[in-house]
Amino acid sequence: MKKTDVQQAHNLPSECTTIIIGQNQTADGSMIVSRSEDWDAMVAKNYEIFEDTEHGLNEFVALDSPFRCELPEKALGYTALSPHHLHRHWGSAGFNTAGVGMSATESIFSSDEVLKYDPLVENGVAENAVFNITLPYIRSAREGVERLGMLIEKHGIAEGFGIGFVDNKEIWYLETACGHRWLACRMPKDQYFVTGNQSRFRTYHPNDKENYLASADLIEFAEKHGLYDPAQGDFDFHKAYARDVELDTTYNYPRVWGLQRFFSPDIKNDITKNTFPVFAKAAHKITLTELRTAFRFHYDNTEHDPYLHGNPKEPYRPVSIFRTTQTHLLQVRPELPQAIGCVNYVAMGMADLGVFLPLYQGVTSYPEAYGKGTDVSSADSAYWKFRKVMALGMTNYNKYTPVIKEAYSKFEAETDQRQREMEEEYLRICKTQPLHAQDLLQAFSDKILNSALDLADRLQEQLFTLMTQDIQQEYLFHGA
**Domains of the chain, residue spans:** 15-372
DSSP E strands in 28-170: the ranges are: 31-38, 45-50, 59-61, 68-70, 78-83, 93-95, 101-107, 161-166
Catalytic, 178? Answer no
At 2 the three-state DSSP class reads: coil
Q: Tell which phi-psi region holds residue 92, choosing left (phi > 0), alpha (psi between -120 and 50) or beta.
A: left
Q: Shortest CA distance to 449 belongs to which of 362, 352, 373, 359? A: 359
Q: What per-residue confidence (pLDDT) applies to 11?
A: 67
Q: Shortest CA distance to 131 belongs to which of 201, 211, 37, 55? A: 37
Cβ 454 vs Cβ 389: under 8 Å: no
Angle between helices 397-429 and 382-394 (to 10 degrees): 150
Q: Are strands 192-195 and 279-280 parallel, antiparallel or unpaired?
A: antiparallel
Q: What per-residue confidence (pLDDT) applies to 235?
A: 98
Q: What per-residue confidence (pLDDT) applies to 15?
A: 85
Dihedral, CA of residue 89, residue 90, residue 92 and residue 93, to nearest 10: 20
Residues of the chain with pLDDT under 50: 1-10
- Determine which one of 16, 178, 185, 342 is catalytic: 16
At 31 the three-state DSSP class reads: strand
Backbone angles phi, psi at 306, to 5 degrees: -70, -25
Q: What per-residue confidence (pLDDT) applies to 480?
A: 66
Q: d(Cα 220, Cα 196) in Å, to the nearest integer?
A: 28
Q: What per-residue confidence (pLDDT) applies to 479?
A: 77
Could you tell me which CATH class the domain 15-372 is placed in?
Answer: alpha beta
CB neighbour list of residue 121: distance below 8 Å, 6 or more residues apart:
155, 156, 157, 158, 179, 180
Q: What per-residue confidence (pLDDT) applies to 478?
A: 82
